[in-house]
Structure formats: C-alpha cells, structure tokens
Amino acid sequence: MTHRRFYPVGFIVDEDCADNRNQNSIAARLSPAQGEATVDGIRELVVDNPLVAFTTLLLVSLTLPPLFERIRLPGLVGLLLAGVLLGPSVLGLLDPAGDIEKLFADIGKVYLMFVAALEIDLKEFNRNRDRAMTFGFLTFAIPMMGGILLGRWTGFGWVAAVLIGSLMASHTLLAYPIVMRLGVTRDESVTVTVGATIFTDIAALLVLAVCVSLQGGNFSPFSLTLQLVGLAVYAAAVLFGLNWVGRLYFRRTGSEQGNQFLFVLLAVFLVAVGAQVINVDKIVGAFLAGLAVNGVLGDGPVKEKVEFFGSVLFIPFFFVCMGLLLDVPVFIEALTDHLGLTVGIVLTLILTKFLAAAIAGLWFGYSRLQILTMWSLSLPQVAATLAAALVGLQVGLITAPVFNAVIVLMLVTSLVGSTTTSRFASQLPLPVGPLVAADTTWDDWLETEGKPETPFVVVVPLANPLTQRYLIEMAAFIAQYEKGYVVPLAIAPAHAHMDDPKLLAVLNHHQQLLQTAQAISEAVGTEARPQLRIDDDLADGISRTAREHHAQLVVMGRSQTEGLRARLLGSVIDNVFWASHCPVAVTRLKKAPIDLKRILIPVKIMTPQTIRTIRFGQIFAATHEATITLLHVSDRTHSAQDIQLFKGQLRTIMAEGPQVEHAIKCVRHDDPAAVILTAARHVDLVILRSMRRRTAAGLAVSDVTHRVIDDLTCSVVLFGEPHS
C-alpha cells in the first residue's frame, strides 16, 4: 500500500517512489542490506542531522545576501531562493517539518515582527499623529476592502477573504534607508507614512488574531466580544506593563548590557508565549513587545545588539525557512493555472495603495511627488505580510496558491517600491530653512557637557610604512590648527604568551613605526604622543584608544583592494566607522597634504552631517591656505528658487567657519557621479561623506559615492561620524 506524507504547502511525496528513486543508484551496486544501510547512514548524517541543518543555514545566511546585493537584488530574495533549492522540491537537504527548521522559523517570525516594531520612530509618529493616523486608516482600509472583494470573487469564504485583505493592508518600510540617504526624512509625506506603519501593522495583526479565532469554529457574538476584550487587556498590559518593568530594570542594571540584552530577549518570547495563551498568534505579542520596549532601548548599544543579533541570525533563517515551504510545481501553478489570482493580488495591492495615498495626499494638500513618495513607501509587503501569511497557511485559512501569490507579491512590491521611492523621493524639494546652527563645531556630537575642556586630539592608526608620512602630516596640520596633539597608534595582535618571539618582533617593528611618526609630527611642529597597544581586535583597539584619549578625530588610510574576508565580515575601516565615538576620516592620499591646494566637496543636501563635513574641509584648507569648491548637482525638476535658497545656505555655512577662499557651483544633471568625476579632474582632493549603518557593520554610502570612489584618480577623504 502506498503512503503519502503531506507537507505544509500542499506538495505530496510518495514515500515508495521518492525514497526508492533516491536509493536506486546506490543500492544497485550493493547487496540489499548493504545498500539500505549505506543510504540510511548518509540520510541520517546529512538530511536528518540538526547540526548539518544549522550549519547549512549559517552558510547560506553568510554568503548569499552579499552576492545578491551586488547584482542589485534584495538579499532576502537570495535567502528565499536558497530555501527553495535546499527544500524538498529540489535537493531535499532541509525539511520544513524538521525540528531545527521549525524552531528557527518560529523564532525568526517572532523576531521579525519585534524588530519591525522596534524600528518605528515614535517621535516622528507623535509629531504628525493626526495625519499619520488618517493615512494609516486609509492605507489599511482601502487595500483590505480590495482584498476582501478579490477573495470573495475568487471563491474564498468570508474569514479567508478578510485575512487576504489584511495581508494587503499592512506595509513594511523597506525603502526607508533610501529616503534617509536622500536626506528627505523630514518631509512631512515621509514622516506621515512612517507613522502610519504603527496603525497598519497593529490593525492587520488584530484582524489576523480574530480570523484565527474564528477559524477555530467556536464563533459567536459573545466569544468574539470576549476575544476582543481579552486582546485589549493583553495589549494594554504589554504596552504599559512591559514598558514600566523595562525602565525599572534598565535603571537598576546600569551598564550591564549583557543582562539587558537577555532581558529584552526574555521579554519578547515571554510576551509571544502569553499571546498564545489567550488564543492570539505569537507575532501579535512580538509586535506589541517591540512597541513596549521601543522607548526603553532608545538608540543605545543594547538596541544595536538586539537588531544586529536578529539581522544576522534569526531573520535570515526565517526567510530561508519560508523558501522551504515553496513547492516549485505549486509555485509554477500559481503563475500559470492560478495566474489570475496572483496577478489580481499584485494589481489590487498596487492600485489600492495608490488610491489611499492619493486621497490622503489631496486631503493634506501635498504635491504630486509627495503623494507618489507616500505610495512607493507604503508599497513593499514583507514583515507583517509574510508572517501573517505563514500563520494563515498553518491554520488552514489560505491555500498554497494564495501563499505562493503572497511570495510573488513580496518580490514584486519590494523591487517596485524600492525603485519608485528612489525615483520620486529624489525629486522632492530640497530642505531649506535653519536646519542647525551654522557655527556647528567638532564638539556637537561629543559628550562634553559637564566635563572639563580637553585639547584637540587626533588618533592616527599606523600599519603601512609607505603611507604613514602623509597620514601623520594631515593629522598634524589639523591638530596644530586646533592647538592639540597627535596620537600615533600601533596595535600588535595579541598572542597566548606575552613572551612569544613573534610578538616581540612585531612590537619592535611597531616601535620603529611610532618613532618615525613622532619625528614626522615634530617636523611639522605638532606634539605627538605615540601609543603602542596589544589587542585581540584591530578595530576595537583603535576605537577604544580614541575613546580613552577623548579624541575628536581618527585619521586612517584606505587600502586599494579588499579581500574576501573584508567583503563578507567587514574590514577594519568598516568596524572602526561602526564603533567610533568621534568622526573618522578615511584617506587615500596621492600627494603630500601640503600640496593638496584645490579641494572639492560635493554637497547633495543640507544636513548636520553635511555641515560638519564642510567644516572638516575648511579646517584642513585653512592649515595650508588651500581653496574649496562646493559642488551641488541638482535634479532637473528642482526650481531655480530652490537652488538659490540652497546656495544661500552654503554661503552662510562657509561664512561662519574658518575663512578660506571658496567657490560654490550648482549644476543641473541626471548623473551626479559623472559631474563629480569631471570636476575632480581639476582638483587635488575630493572630500566625500559617509555614515554608519544601524544593524550591520560597514560603510553606508550611496551608489554615486561608490562610483566616485572607484573612478577617482586624485586624493580622496571619506568623512564619517557617529550618530549618522
């Protein structure tokens, strides 16, 4: 008799056929007993081994996202594809019903919703609360009604149709980093869309909770009322109770970041378990937990650790496990036999989200570009949509074709949303007005309140004897101008035994580097205080030394090439940018600093970070009477009035800083990189701005900056700072 095993996404495996088919090639060359034992041994070692499954998930999460991002595709697409290839439909190395896969799918689902709530900016929500709630209601209700109509039209029952509508009602701010890079996060259309996320996600999860309850079969007006009341009490207890307990615990533990991190993890999963107790799905509890601890964590180091831990481990595992649920034949069927349903879901989502943005935008008096930006930001369906779709599939509310259509929806909206946001947000009017005080100084980002005034300190890590002269000279010029001193720093890698001959040889070599650096600095006329350090990690050694000396600047050299390890794990420069408390200037100098007479500073938008980058250029130019050219490449859609206002701001910024000869050039062009590279042919140094990422180490620079850095033939400085 033939037995069949049913998997979560509707694929059916005939054990007699599938198992025997995989064993025929091996068993044919062995006796029946030997062949069966060999195949069972291989299966036990590879397929049914939790350690192998965990190792495979780690390998995929490490290697695939960077590769897909290099070809301009989201990393999560690579994770989903890996899940499909490793799942039962293709290679069969991972089993969606396996213990390790099920565990990490559940943990990843909970963590994804928790981080989604943690990323919501509550200050921005409060700033435009009324409009955010209005747009949130519209961008939830209109897509939901469209989804319900589509579900009923395609033959689904009312409960399933409502769930389909709720899947389309939420949105994920996948393209928010784009508007951050473009500097338009202060535009009201952006802040309203960000605030609307709170309403759409909570409402969608509440609808999911009610639908799952109704699917249990015990529906009555009394049971529904009881469920809603219980959910309201539970939500209030989590939002207010967990917030109070969290603040109390963080006050008592002080700087014990390890225990605070464990407290947050415990809170998340405890609340998730509590949600299941009241017959609500755990992702509802995870989202509420994220909102509750949002204000407790702030933007401190514990929040960075929580997000980093999830972004490199649990959340990638979740997307791989989602790919395991994709059955290739069923997925193809969704694109062929069920093409109407798939296309209907995608088009309904795109049209209803646009209708919601248009109604809200016209109501608020927004421009066409602001309306399109709201639409593009609210388009991607990832976090809440995927998590809720998985729950609906597991409880039998939606079918495999609908689940596969949701995967298609996620892929399409992720790509379209990111592309359209980049296009429309880049055309928003330039921010004008008093952004920050024009006389912004180095100390604006340092914790100087209540501390005695300290001299200006520049830390210079040394590694390459061929480039250290230019580094020390640049640092010495700046320190001399600010009446401070230079700290040449050499770090020897730690050994198990401090009397190791290799360590002694390295220390002697570094001591020679420091003596040379001190001589160079003193020749310029600047005091040098060399520092020799032994540390397990170069980046940590640099950032810790800078903190210990209360440094205001770190000046580093940049390698021309990076190896595979640096690309996958982040280079020393990446990690210093991430950890440093003060600005970091990464240099690639082709001439002696004193010969860098013509300096070019491209300026995209006016932000505090832009102003401080200009300040750095002014200070360096003032040390040896160099000239500065501020270059702004604007979009052709920006008006002449906007450009004149922007130039006026630049003149004010330059007038309040060190007085150096300068020029301001504004060019209208569709390719900023080409304009910058053309202008760079006539200068000695280009100063570009960078910022650090929040959830992974590394330099976060725009595509324009990447192109410029790769193609520049003159000297370059990449200037970055903390809290950016």
Q: What is the sign of the dihedral through the CA atoms of 126, 129, 132 and 136?
A: positive
pLDDT at residue number 246:
85
Cα–chain center distance at 723: 15
Which residues on adjacent β-strands are paired with residue 490? 532
pLDDT digits (tens, 9 = 90+) for 343-364: 888 888 889 999 998 998 899 8
Kindly report the CA angle at 503 between 499 and 506, in degrees rounded to 5?
A: 145
Of 364, 391, 425, the one marking the end of a domain is 425
DSSP tally for the chain: helices H, then strands E: 30, 14
Range in 225-239, 292-306, 623-637 with the lowest mean pLDDT: 292-306
- How many domains would you assign to the chain? 4
- Mean pLDDT lowest among 109-123, 410-424, 664-678: 109-123
Q: Which residues have C-beta within 8 Å of that of residue 144, sequence separation ≥ 6?
A: 162, 165, 166, 168, 169, 207
CATH number at residue 688: 3.40.50.620
pLDDT of the residue at 489: 92
362, exposed or middle or buried, with CB in 10 Å at 0-12, 13-18, 19+? Answer: exposed
Helix (H) / strand (E) containing 489: strand 485-493
Q: Are residue 390 and residue 514 in the same domain, yes or no?
A: no
Neighbours of 9 (CB within 10 A): 21
Task: Choose the final residue of a domain: 581, 616, 634.
Answer: 581
Question: Is 100 contained in some domain?
Answer: no
Which residues form the domain of 15? 4-46
**Quick one: 482 and 454 in the same domain?**
yes
Q: Is residue 320 domain-shared with residue 173, that is, in the same domain?
A: yes
Alpha-carbon dihedral angle through residues 654, 657, 662, 664, given to the nearest 10 degrees: -20
What is the spatial distance between Cα 215 and Cα 394, in angstroms, rounded to a whole number?
A: 11
Question: In CATH, what number is assigned to the domain containing residue 284?
Answer: 1.20.1530.20
Give the residue among 116, 128, 135 at the shortest CA–CA distance from 176: 116
Please identify, among 532, 556, 581, the residue that sits at the C-terminal boundary of a domain.
581
Please state, in angstroms and as integers, the Cα–Cα distance from residue 309 to each residue in 119, 318, 695, following that order.
14, 13, 9
Q: Is the pLDDT of residue 648 over 80?
A: yes
pLDDT of residue 706: 67
Domain identity same for 224 and 373: yes
Query: Any idea what DSSP says for residue 571?
Result: -
In the predicted structure, residue 536 carries a pLDDT above the cut 80 = no
Confirm whether 30 is domain-assigned. yes
CA distance 677 to 674: 5
The residue among 587, 584, 664, 657 whose CA lies nearest residue 622 is 657
Q: Are residues 440 and 465 in the same domain?
A: no
Is 452 a member of any domain? Answer: yes
pLDDT confidence of residue 685: 93
- The helix or strand, by DSSP H or E, that contains position 487, with its residue range, turns out to be strand 485-493
- For the chain, give the longest Cα–Cα distance: 92
Alpha helices by DSSP H, 325-467? 328-335, 339-364, 368-377, 383-394, 400-425
Do 481 and 595 share a domain, yes or no?
no
What does the pLDDT read at residue 442?
47
Burial class (CB in 10 A: 0-12, 13-18, 19+), 566: middle
What are the CA-CA distances from residue 589 to residues 528, 554, 558, 563, 674 (Å)? 21, 15, 9, 21, 21
Pick from 423-432, 493-502, 660-669: least confident? 423-432
Do 409 and 548 fall into the same domain? no
Same domain, 648 and 629: yes
| Rounded Cα–Cα distance for residues 400 and 450 (Å) | 62
Find out whether 8 and 106 touch, Cβ atoms under 8 Å. no
Rg (CA), the chain: 29
pLDDT of residue 487: 93
89 domain-assigned: no
pTM confidence score: 0.55
Of 661, 671, 724, the residue nearest 693 (C-alpha):
724
pLDDT at 482 over 60: yes
Residue 549 φ then ψ, to 5° = -95, 5
Mean pLDDT of 45-55: 72
The C-alpha atoms of residue 79 and residue 92 are separated, in whole angstroms, by: 16
Residue 231 burial by Cβ neighbours in a 10 Å radius (0-12, 13-18, 19+): buried
Average pLDDT, the chain: 76
The arithmetic mean of pLDDT across residues 274-284, rounded, is 74
531 part of a folded domain:
yes
Q: 137-165 burial, b if ≥16 CB within 10 A, otherwise e?
A: bbbbbbbbebbbbbbbebebeebbbbbbb
Confidence of residue 37 (pLDDT cuts 50, 70, 90): low
pLDDT > 90 fraction of the chain, expressed in percent and rounded: 8
Q: How far apart are the first and last CA of the chain?
A: 65
- Which tens digits make up the pLDDT trace of 75-84? 777 787 888 8
| Burial environment of residue 505 by CB neighbours within 10 A (0 to 12, 13 to 18, 19 or more) | exposed
Residues across the chain: 724
Judge if 473 and 544 occupy the same domain.
yes
Contacts of 119 (CB under 8 A, 6+ apart): 173, 307
User: Is residue 57 in a domain?
Assistant: no
- Could you write out the three-class secondary structure of 520-548? HHHHHCCCECCEEEEECCHHHHHHHHHHH
Do both 369 and 439 map to the same domain?
no
Confidence of residue 565 (pLDDT cuts 50, 70, 90): very low
Per-residue pLDDT, 472: 92
How far apart are the C-alpha atoms of 87 and 96, rounded to whole Å? 7
Q: Let me know if residue 92 belongs to a domain.
A: no
Give the DSSP letter of residue 360.
Answer: H
| Percent share of the chain, pLDDT over 70 | 76
Q: How many CA atoms lie within 13 A of 609 on its CB side?
A: 23
Instruction: For residue 556, list its beta bridge partners.
Output: 586
Q: Is residue 392 part of a domain?
A: yes
Query: Cα separation of 371 and 378, whole Å?
Result: 11
Residue range 139-183, pLDDT digits in tens: 888 988 988 888 888 777 787 888 888 888 877 776 665 676 666
**The predicted structure's pLDDT at residue 72:** 66
pLDDT reported for residue 19: 47
Q: Are residues 228 and 253 in the same domain?
A: yes
Q: What is the mean pLDDT of residues 684-698?
A: 61
- Token pair for 7: 């998997």
pLDDT surpassing 60 at residue 433: no
CA distance 356 to 135: 7
224, 278: one domain:
yes
Q: Is the dihedral of CA 30, 31, 34, 38 positive or negative?
A: positive
pLDDT at position 108: 80
